[in-house]
Structure 1
């Protein structure tokens, strides 16, 4: 239930220094299709890819489909495991709730979306009207149909734990310490599988870590990008194989 505004803390920090493309995740009910479209939007050559939550599943699939072009991987508040059956059932219940709200109009869907807030942010941010309004606005922009497509895509995604050890580029794994949606243990698991990674636990943050604690998350992402730059420079200096 997010749009490009989820990345505003980072895009603001790197404005004028890097080209940044934010790929939508609400247009397809398939992680693989979202990844194909994200790759197609990239200019020729290597690129770094980062994904938040559902976007993290897409970012990992980008590595599967275009691994030779990926120079770095950033994963924020996400996981590598496929959904367990009870999680799929919970997603179905959310889909039913949203479908039921759709007939009552956009405002009804907004009320359903607002009901998720307690699980999305740290308890200390539940009175942050600006943050909660942003979450509501982003959810409304994606709409109920976009939300359903996202849930279907997440439900049918593949397990990527076999893929992560083969991603030998600089990586960063970031997670809110109190994330209820994708708990920190999932980030620890991903970090243990990635060959070259920094694991960052964000204090006093839930699932929306990049919006709840933007300074800490952006600092971690900037460190990651510097590592990507350094690795790419080393690669460029290597002689061509014969």
Structure 2
């Protein structure tokens, strides 16, 4: 399955596994799509239903001009409804973490827990990053942006194959959708929403993340009552891709503690 029809239009989806355990939903970053979660679907699909979704305009989802981060969250909730998932653990990376916080604000009862990776409540350099991203998508195109950006996204241990994967994935994104996603993530200010979270929360961050540095994850975790903060050694901004075993193990430990 690559697409489902929802009340918010067609949404791209890929999933693995099943059973009675609470499902785990994965939300991608601004420069990727649902395919980035393949290592996690393979792992968590052995013990539960694991689902990765595209935002509107990304991957196999219908476009949604002028969509906001709250519209993205609504599309994920609509996809959950279409997939007959009432409640799930929500794992989001970067933009995915921003959308997870927005989703919780809209429908906290749908969130069994939150896993917020390499993300933030508010980014002090968000406006500047958005301005650069928007300009680059117009002037050099998505492949040029991807080639220029890959080195900053990945840590020192990333392989050439990882660099190539990041470039190819980002290059496939429609430029208009990318700008919408960039606005949704970099201009977010969800301090109040984060402070209102009352579900178990794990905050993960790569120790070499220069895009959303560990200090932003520390701030985010400090806003959320009872949140657990864990650093992924040897990872940059794309911790789930760079350190698959450590990333998956951290989530396994967290789920074992709360379920």
What TM-score results when the alignment is normalised by the length of structure 1?
Answer: 0.83
> 1:109-152, CA deviations, whole angstroms, 9 ceiling, x for partnerless residues?
31221110121111232xx2210111012102223222212112
Quick one: structure 1 residues 21 and 155, their matched pair in 2 at CA, closer, same or farther if it must change by over 3 Å?
same
In the TM superposition, what are the counterparts of 1:92-241 in structure 2 within 5 Å?
Answer: 92-102=131-141, 109-125=142-158, 128-157=159-188, 159-229=189-259
SS at match of 2:190: coil
SS at match of 1:187: helix
> 1:32-86, CA deviations, whole angstroms, 9 ceiling, x for partnerless residues?
00000001111252221111001110000000000122110000000011x44x5
CA distance in 1, matches of 2:254, 2:92: 13
Q: In the alignment, which residue of structure 2 is the partner of 1:76?
A: 117
CA distance in 1, matches of 2:129, 2:249: 34
Larger RCO: 1 or 2 (CA < 8 Å, sep 6+): 1
Aligned length: 218
Tell me the CA shift for residue 209 of structure 1.
Answer: 1.0
CA distance in 2, matches of 1:63, 1:187: 18
* 1:54 maps onto 2:87 in alignment: no
CA distance in 1, matches of 2:201, 2:214: 16
What TM-score results when the alignment is normalised by the length of structure 2?
Answer: 0.78
SS at match of 1:182: coil
2:102 and 2:193 in contact (8 A); partners too = no
**Greater strand content:** 2
Quick one: structure 1 residues 10 and 68, their matched pair in 2 at CA, closer, same or farther if it must change by over 3 Å?
same
SS at match of 1:48: strand
Deviates more, 1:213-222 or 1:111-120: 111-120
CA distance in 2, matches of 1:51, 1:121: 17
CA distance in 1, matches of 2:108, 2:85: 14
What root-mean-square deviation, in Å, do the aligned CA atoms of Structure 1 and Structure 2 show? 1.8
Tell me the CA shift for residue 168 of structure 1.
Answer: 1.9
CA distance in 2, matches of 1:155, 1:183: 14
